[in-house]
Structure 1
Amino acid sequence: MIRHSIKKIKPYGNDEEINAFIIDPPYEELNIIKGISDLGDLDLEIEWIKELINRNVPDYTQDGFIIYQPFLWGSRKSKIGEINDNKIIGAREFDTKEFLDLCYAWKQFLKANI
């Protein structure tokens, strides 16, 4: 299960605290979602993932591969990949629906903290 939490952190080296959206190990590489801070863009990402889930794409396919971080997407199960000798090697499996739920949680976090 992909777990996340909201924690207070002090990123500025002083006493000022801000809320941080933390994705718990071993799935911290799914922090890719935190790169989307525009709610409109996040809505597009959510729609894409919902479509992927509904299309019945084979698990671990390279359809939807994100070039900046290696993910092998599938409708049910996806993998966080590793690149080795220019080949993508699946590493850690995660449930695609749970990632969608994580996207919704990120959206709620953004709404509450913008």
Structure 2
Amino acid sequence: MPEHRYGDDSEPSDRSPAGPLYVPVRPGPSGCVARLFRTPPGHRTAVGFTSARRLTATLGRGQAWIRLAEPALRALTAPLGVTTVTVDPRFSAPAPGPTPAPAPAFPRRIARIA
């Protein structure tokens, strides 16, 4: 039996539970918080993976996770206005790097030597 029952469809029309998912989390004020992502068109989505191997292949070994059933993940993110759960996304953008220092607002004055 395949690990992922929905093939490439990350949002099945029948909304059947995907089963226990590996959900990426980040530290929050009261423990861990589910990470939210954006779809290519820019909509927010919750993300779950059907295996820890798939999660680490996409987000890296350092990504913390918890196990949640799909209905629990939907219930957790619904109050935030997030109604989509993406299962086993294949790609993610790299984490942003350090922000370069801003350029000075005005160029420095160079003293003339007479």
Larger radius of gyration: 2
Give TM-score, length-normalised by structure 2. Answer: 0.23
- The answer to which structure, 1 or 2, has the higher relative contact order (CA under 8 A, 6+ apart) is 2
Higher helix proportion (structure 1 or 2): 1
